[in-house]
Amino acid sequence: MALHEKYKQLIDTAKNSGVSNLQVREQDNVLYIDGDAPTGEIKNKLWDVYNQIDPDYRAGDLVLNVNATAAAGSQAKVTTQSSNLNIRKGPGTDQAIIGKAAHNEVVTVVGQANDQWSLIRTDSGQEGYVYNQYLSPV
């Protein structure tokens, strides 16, 4: 099955949800979906569709690189013991670490992926998912 067909529902959801600058390309048996989601909720919706197609994101044949362009705006403080907080590509510990948020750093919560994971943005513009247990309202 071609990757475009496998991920058709995800591509259609991105198109129908207003993802701008949408680019879909296949390279070396990996499908890349890039673009800008109008909200964190839309980005989370895309991850939900992805998880339905590939439970637990195990196939390794898709790179979902969609950023949320509008922020919810609430602030939260990173409340790890003393170390930095991992920022991940998607909502789960199996997702790649794409950055770090410093202990006691204040971040912007863009959206909630579920009860355990939030989509955040740092002051430097790094965007990704973090485990809610390590965030406290400011």
| 120 membership: H or E segment, kind and range | strand 117-121
Q: Are 121 and 127 in contact (CB under 8 A)?
A: yes
Specify the domain boundaries for CATH 3.30.460.10 within the chain: 3-68
How far from each other are the two terminal CA atoms of the chain, in whole angstroms?
Answer: 48
0.75 surpassed by pTM: no
Query: Over 60: is that where the pLDDT of 71 sits?
Result: no
Specify the domain boundaries for CATH 2.30.30.40 within the chain: 74-137
Query: Over 70: is that where the pLDDT of 70 sits?
Result: no
- The superfamily in CATH containing domain 3-68 is Beta Polymerase, domain 2 (3.30.460.10)
> 74-137, which class in CATH?
mainly beta
- Residue of higher predicted confidence among 11 and 41: 11
Task: Read off the pLDDT of residues 85-96 as tens digits, 9 standing for 90 and up.
Answer: 999 999 999 899
For position 24, what pLDDT does the model report?
A: 95
Mean pLDDT confidence for 3-9: 95
Query: Over 90: is that where the pLDDT of 134 sits?
Result: yes
Distant-in-sequence contacts of 125-129, Cβ < 8 A, 24+ apart? 126/87, 126/98, 126/99, 126/101, 127/67, 127/68, 127/87, 128/87, 128/88, 128/89, 128/98, 128/99, 129/87, 129/88, 129/89, 129/90, 129/91, 129/92, 129/95
